[in-house]
Each structure stands twice: as C-alpha cells, then as structure tokens.
Structure 1
Amino acid sequence: MGKLYFCFFLLTLRLRRSTAGLLAVVSLLLVAPVARAQSAADTLRVVQLANVDVNPEAVQGWLLVNPDIRLELEGAVDNLYNFKHDKAQRQFRSLRRRYPQHPMPYFLMGLAQWWQMVPSQLQTTSHDRPFLAYMDTAITKAEALYAQDAHNYEACFFLSAAYGFDARLNALRRNWRRATVSSKHALDYLAKSQEANHLSPEFLFGQGLLNYYAPWIADNYPLLKPVLLFFPKGNRQLGLQQLRHVAANGFYTAPETQYFLLQILQYEEHRPHEALPLARALAAKYPDNPYFQRTYAQLCFSQGQIRECERVSQEILDKLGRGQAGYEAVSGRYASYFLAYLQQYRYKNPAQARELYQRCLVFAETTGDTRGGYYLNAYWNLAKLAQQQQDWSAATRYFALVKAQAEPYSEMASDAEAYFKEQHGPRKAGKRVAAGASTLSLAR
C-alpha cells in the first residue's frame, strides 16, 4: 500500500502539468476497487452470502443492500438526478433522522451538492464547503462502524467513495496535499472491501471504471506508464461490459454509471450512435437535468436529429431564462449555438442566427470558455454572415479572431486568410488580434 501511495504522489506531480479532464479520470480510478481484471463470466456471476467472509446478519443490517431502503429512496435518487434537490434533501434528512449514525444519508446529501456543480463542469465553487462537510461526516460515521466490525464492507464502501470524491474535488481545485492523502485512504479501504465486491452491482461500478480507464490512461498518456505499473492493467472491453451491467442492474450507482457510459461512448469509443439512445433515455427520465439535456441535444445535432435538437435546445434556453435550477451559461452556450446553426443553414434566417450566435459568445465569455469549440465556430459563422451581407467592418472583426485562434491550415484559417487577402491585400493578411483583446467588444 505504501507503493500505491507513492505512486499516486508521483501521479499528482505529473497531473499539475496536465488537464482537468485527466485529473477527473485519475481520481475516478481511485474510487474504483483495486482488483485485477477478471473474466466476464467470473465478474458477472451471482455470489451468495455463504461465499463471502462476513456475518449474514450483519449484511442484513447494511442499508446499501436493504430492499426497503431502496424502495424508500427510489424517488429521492430520481429527485437528485432530476435537479429537484430540495425534495431530495428532505428525503435524505428523513433517512438521517432514523439512521443518524450511518454514513449513507450524509454521503447522499454530499452527492446532491456534487451534482449541483456538474452543469458548470465543476467550475462553480459555492458548493465546495457543504460538499466537503457532508463527505467528512460520512467518513466519520463510516469509520465508527468499521471500528466496531472489521468485516463491515459497507462501511469500507462509503469510506472509499467519500474519500474518493474528496480527492477528486481537491485535485480539481489543485489542493494537492489533501487530494493525495484522501486518495491513500480511499485505496486502503478499497483494498479491504474486496470480499464484498459481488454482493451487489453497486460494488462492480468502481471495478468497471478501473478496468476501462487504466489502459485508456496508458494509451493516451504514455509518460505515465511507469507510474501505472503499480495499478492493475485493466481491460477496456471488460470494463465496458461491467459498466453496462451496472447501468442495467444497479440502483444507487446506475445513474452515475450511465453518466460515465455516455461520456465513454461519445468521446472515448466514438460511438455516438450508441450514445444517442442512452442520452435519450436519460433526458426523458430526468427532463430537468441540464447536463443530460444538453448532451442529448448535442448528440441529436451531430446525428442529424434536427427536430429533437431544436426542441431540447429551445427548452434549455427557456429554462435558463426562467432561472431554473442548474441551467446556466455552459448549457446556454450549447443550446444557442445549435439553434443559431439551424437558423443559418436550415431556416435561412440570418438575423435570428446572428442574434443566437452572439448569445453563444456571451455565454462562453461568462464562463471563460473562449478557446475553440462552439465559441470559435460561432465567430466563424458570424464572419460568413457578415461577409454575405457585405458588412465588411463586422466581417473583419470576426475573421480576425478566427485567424487568431483557428488551427493552421484548417478550413477556418483558410477562410480567414482568403478574406484578408481579398479585402486588404497580402500585407494585412497576417494581422492578428492580440490574445488579450476583449472578445465581448468583437461580438457587438
């Protein structure tokens, strides 16, 4: 275990120079059970209590596998993921009144805080303190249960999960020391909980993430391969199979698993045709979850489901306009870009397209997402609209930013270069916007 601790310390040093996305991936690995990849048949088999070194009476007292608690909390979990957080918190507090010494209610209340940060891509910091406080309390309660019974693997589950979430947020906030210490604790308790891995699909969630992402990191970040020697090798296909199993059969972890499956299928496996039905199901089940809604709109846009994309995007902007919980600038950027594109190319309405593209720019600048992506594409399309209308002053402003940000030799860069050559001659074609220039002024 000392080697694993040292391994993660080295890993965090490297991650200081890496991306926030990699931080999230590695911290998720720390939440996953540290176990060798197994065959699919062995991993998905049903294990009876008699096969596990634990007192059956103690297992019956675990809330995590209690069917009555699951039935009671079904609506609360749905409220959590559907952004009805006030209702969910009331239900979790009711559970806390009856089980004040159990970590589950505190962990769920912390998870509700976490999901209020997800729509902003975890940029929002106003929920950090209550989130960390709930996770700290869950850790305290779980440690007390574990001190009473060293075979209480439910306590280990909550300890590893709470420490893992703590490590993930602190890594994202660049609090490296606390992230490292919390990760060590998460790994310790994960190692202790292996005996109960097959009692419930909930326990398989972490192993699926580990199996999938361990080889993914090795493939995408070869400099980390020496560090990853301390981790299981993993198996991407097995991990994907395990995650599908949990998504279909889990209860508490099913929505989280579906959340990760959505990202994996869309961005890692490049299977948008498989991600689309999953996104559709999540958007239908949780119609007020801005992350699921905008992801569904994005997949509809890329897969040519124009009517659905338009409907969902308009709903996002309407909810944002009403100030509905969870709907903020990131979702607004997605929705306004999709609608602007449709107005420009499908409905041939340049005035409406221009207004929506400019809204997209403002949303992007509100969150600081001003490099590439929908932001750059919005400028490119605004430049083409201005060029079509012979508004040369606006076209010059828009193409200047496109030229400053576009990848060399890309279609965008070629368009900008051609525009400046045509309008101003070769000497002015190379003029670029200063990196620190205000893009809000350019959007006007």
Structure 2
Amino acid sequence: MLARIVMILSIWFAGLGVARAQEVAEDSMIFAPSKYLLLDKGLQFRITTAINSMYNFDFPTAERDFAVLANQYPDHPLPEFLVALGYWWRIEVDVTNEKYDATFVKYLDRAIAKAQVMFDEDETNKEAAFFLAAGYGFQSRLYSERKSWTKAAWAGRNSLKYLDLSRGEEEFNPELLLGDALFNYFAEWIPDNYPLMKPVMALFPEGDKKLGLRQLEEVANNAFYTRVEAQYFLFRLYASEEKEPFKALQISEYLHEEFPNNPYFHRSYARHLYTVGRWTESVEQSKQILERIDAKMPGYESNSGRYAAFYVAQYNERLGDLEQAKKYYLLTLSFGEESESQESGYYLHSLLQLGKIATEENNKDLAKQYFKKVKKYAKRKHPAHQEARDYIKKNKL
C-alpha cells in the first residue's frame, strides 16, 4: 500500500505533456534566445504542428518531425520524450492493452539517459532535472497501471528527487506548477478517501484541493509543455471528484474540437454530453465513434466502443425503441468482452437492461441467463448484483 501511495503522489510529475501554442503570424515573430531548449520560443513555434499531430493521433506525421528534431539536437532528451509521450497516449485509450509498454519505456529510458548525462555535467541544469523528474514520473504512472508497485515506488522517488532539483528557474514556473497542482489536490484527497492512509500522508506536506484546482487552471491557460495534460486532469477531476459536469464538458468539448481524431477526448466529450442530459448530441458523437471503430481509425477500439454503444442503447430505450436498444446493449457486451471489461459498470448495466427487456418480452429463460451473468461478474456488494438478485426474486425467475 505504501508503494501505491508513493505512486499516486508521483503522478503529479507525470503530467509533463505538450500543448498547442497560440497561433502567431509568422512575419511578426521575434524570439529571444534561451539557454534551455524547453524555453526556446522559436522551437515551440516550429514544433507546434508536430505536437498537435501527436495529440490528434497522427503519429507518423508527428514522429517524422520529432526525428528532424532528434537530428538537430542528438544529445537532448526532448525528441525521445515527445515520442514516448505519443506512445503514452496510445496506451491511455485502453490502459489494459500492454502492447505499447516496451516501446514507451524504451523511449523514456533514452530520454532519461540523455538527461542524466546533462545533469552529471552540470547539477545546476534545471532542464535536465526537469526531464529526469518527468521521465521517472511517467514510468511510475505506467508501472502503477500494471500493479508493479515496487517499480512504481522506485520511479516515483526518483521523480520526487529531481523535481525538487528542477526548481529555482522562474521561466519554468508554468510547467512545474502542474506538479504542485496535482500534489496539492491529491495530498488532501487521499486521506479524505482512504482514512487508513492518514499516518502515511502525515509524512508529506499538507495539501489543498482548492489551491490545486486553481493551479491546474493556471497551467491549462499559461503553460506550453504541460497545458493539455493539465486540461486532461481538470476534466477528469471535475467529472468524478468535484461533481462539476458542465465544467468537465466545457474542457472536453474544447479538447475534442482542437484534436478531433483523439479517441480519448472524443469519448470523454460523448460521455460528458450524456452526463448533462444532452443525449441527442451524445448519440451523434457516439455513432461517429462507432463508425470510426469500423473504419479502423487509429486509437478507436473496443474500450471506446463500449462507452459509445451504451449511450446509444440508453437513448433508444428512453425512446421506447427496444429493438434498437437491444442491438446496442448487445454491442456494448461485445465490446466489453473484447476488452475483457466484464466487471465495468456499462457491461453490467447492459446485462441488467437486456434481462429486464427479455422479462417484458416474456422470455424468462433468456432473462435468467442475463441476470446470472450479472451475478457472475459483479461483486456481491456491487449495486448491479443486488439489483439482479432483487429482480430475480420479484419476477420469480
């Protein structure tokens, strides 16, 4: 458990992302030189298209530009780190899929090795410490997803160490603030949600969730390299922890408009539309997601399909079109089984609704099969398990 807590705290460094630069007329650009590549405004302008391509899941275009960057700066960790970030987003759309893990870690290792050389040559190099903190932070994030707690804790401790060493450069503040923001939020959130962890959290500085949210907003508005990652954390926190669905929708809508082919942002937008009751728009986006899965667009896969099919099923059931509802609930089950997500809420709720529809259609044998599956995959204390038991008893199935 201690390893898990260290991992949770370390994800605040793993937010080193890249963001869309503001559009600037090329004939009006005058950039001051910087001793750090990260702060080179001319470079930021030149790589904006590549970064946008990466977030938009056009990885071939992004990686060609990153290769040019690697030729220009062969000893710098930035190119390898950007390629690694692209693989992280391939992982993010379905974190249960491990096929990109080895490549992701390989590029992170290369970025860390180059940053370490820079740091060994000059321990006051804030940029080197910054990349070491971010590289180890992302490793911790992956290892925690894989439940490799020892590796996650080791990488997290390294990330903590180097983030502290990267402080002190005023121009880095918008980028470094993401770490402070996530720490402030989760350092208060963890003991509130896991009371048994209070003794462990006493070893860390106190958190402040409200301050953390304000800092995330500042990063989302002012940073270059951490802007999109801050927006990603913001809409997740607003949707789940802060119970601010309209704020979550606003951010996910912006991200979908900016990066329309990013499947994670796409399904999040559909989900937030559904949550606030804008069902026809959610169905429109959901059907687009399903079409893109059929077209085998990059990143569109069964995990996104499970979300989308469920929203369409729910909408048709509300309209009273049970045939279409059954079609999409069954599609939800198919996507859930493909992604081995039988314990997910959408999968279990689809089974419940199919069981209820079958009961209404006087097909009790089929209904019983659906409810048995709910009891098979849901833990006994899960609301779906209780609902299935109650429905079986009430309807004498």
Q: In structure 1, what residue type is equivalent to 2:322? A: P
Residues in 2 aligned to 1:183 and 1:59: alpha-carbon distance in whole angstroms: 33
Gaps of 5+ in 1: 1-9, 16-21, 34-57, 425-444
Higher mean displacement: 190-199 or 101-110: 190-199
Q: Is 1:105 aligned to residue 79 of structure 2?
A: yes
The aligned amino acid for 2:194 is Y
Q: Is the Cα–Cα contact under 8 Å of residues 215 and 233 in structure 1 kept in the other structure?
A: yes
**Aligned-partner residue type, residue 215 of structure 1:** E
How far 1:392 moved relative to its partner? 2.0
Distance 1:204 1:313 in 2: 35
- Per-residue CA shift, 1:231-269, capped at 9, x if unaligned? 221211111000001101111111111110011101111
Corresponding letter in the other structure for 1:11: L
2:168 aligns to what SS in structure 1?
helix
> How far has the Cα of 1:128 moved from its partner?
1.1
Match of 1:146 in 2: 119
Name which of structure 1's ranges 391-400 and 151-160 shifts more when overlaid on structure 2: 391-400
Determine if the alignment matches structure 1 residue 88 to structure 2 residue 62: yes
How far does residue 74 in structure 1 lie from its aligned partner after superposition? 0.9
How many angstroms does 1:422 deviate by?
3.6
CA deviations on 1:369-411 (whole Å, 9 max, x unpaired) are: 1125111110111112112222222122123334553866958
Say if 1:158 and 1:308 are closer, same or farther in 2 by CA, change over 3 A. same
Q: What is the aligned-residue RMSD (CA, Å)?
A: 2.3
The 3 A distance-change label for structure 1 pair 398 and 166 is: same
What is aligned with 1:377? 349
Q: Deviations over 1:39-86 (max 9, x none)?
A: xxxxxxxxxxxxxxxxxxx98121111101110111111111111111
Q: Which moved more, 1:220-229 or 1:265-274?
A: 220-229
1:352 to 316, 324, 327: 324
The answer for the alignment partner of 1:326 in structure 2 is 299
Q: Counterpart of 1:195 in 2: which secondary structure?
A: coil
Amino acid at match of 1:305: R
Other-structure match for 1:243: 216
Task: Measure the CA separation in 2 of the matches of 1:79 and 1:32.
Answer: 19
- Structure 2: how far apart are the matches of 1:408 and 1:262? 29
- 165-174 or 93-102, which moves further after superposition? 165-174
8 Å Cα contact 1:32/1:210 also seen in 2:
no
Q: Aligned with 2:75: secondary structure?
A: coil
TM-score, reference length from structure 2: 0.90
AA at the equivalent of 1:241: R
Whole-Å separation in 2 of the counterparts to 1:131 and 1:31: 13
Match status 1:390 vs 2:373: no
Contact 1:197 1:204 in 2 (8 A): no
After TM superposition, the runs of 4+ consecutive aligned structure 1 residues lying more than 6 A away are: 406-409
Aligned CA distance change for structure 1 residues 198 and 210 (closer, same or farther; 3 Å) = farther
Where does 1:211-360 land on structure 2 (aligned, <5 Å)?
Answer: 211-346=184-319, 348-360=320-332
Note closer, same or farther for the CA distance 1:229–1:414 as it changes in structure 2 (3 Å cut).
Answer: closer
Q: Tell me the secondary structure at the aligned position of residue 99 of structure 2.
A: coil
Cα deviations by residue, 1:114-138 (Å, 9 ceiling, x for unpaired) = 1100010x21111111111111111
Q: Which residue of 2 aligns with 1:66?
A: 40
What does residue 429 of structure 1 align with?
Answer: none
Instruction: Tell me the secondary structure at the aligned position of residue 147 of structure 2.
Output: coil
- 1:421 is displaced (CA, Å) by 4.4
Letter in 2 for 1:370: Q
Residue 49 of structure 2 corresponds to 75
Structure 2 regions of 5+ residues with no counterpart?
17-31
- Deviation, 1:272, is 0.6
Conserved 8 A contact 2:52-2:259? yes
For the pair 1:11 / 2:2, whether they are aligned, the reply is: yes
Closer, same or farther: CA 178–133 of 1 in aligned 2, 3 Å: same
Over 3 Å counting, the alpha-carbon distance change for 1:203 and 1:328 in structure 2 is: same
Aligned length: 381
Residues of 2 paired with 1:366 and 1:300: CA distance? 25
1:217: how far off?
A: 0.9
Aligned to 2:23: none
Aligned to 1:44: none
Give the residue type in structure 2 aligned to 1:335.
A
Question: Which shifted more, 294-303 or 142-151?
Answer: 142-151
Change (3 A) 1:197 1:169: farther
Give 1:278 deviation, angstroms.
0.8
User: 1:205 and 2:196 equivalent?
Assistant: no
Shift of 1:198: 5.2
Q: Is the 8 A contact 2:84 2:105 kept in 1?
A: yes
Q: CA deviation at 1:171?
A: 2.8
**Pick from 1, 4, 10: which aligns with 1:27?**
10
SS of the aligned residue for 1:194 comes to coil
* 1:406–1:413 contact (8 Å) kept in structure 2: no
Q: CA deviation at 1:93?
A: 0.9
Superposed displacement of residue 168, structure 1: 1.9
CA distance in 2: counterparts of 1:132 and 1:414, whole angstroms = 43
Using the alignment, how far apart are the partners of 2:62 and 2:202 within structure 1? 41
Q: How does 1:162-201 map to 2 (within 5 A)?
A: 162-196=135-169, 199-201=172-174
Q: Compare 178-187 and 110-119 and name the one that shifted more.
A: 178-187
What's the TM-score, normalizing by structure 1?
0.81
Does the 8 Å CA contact 2:11/2:140 hold for their aligned counterparts? no
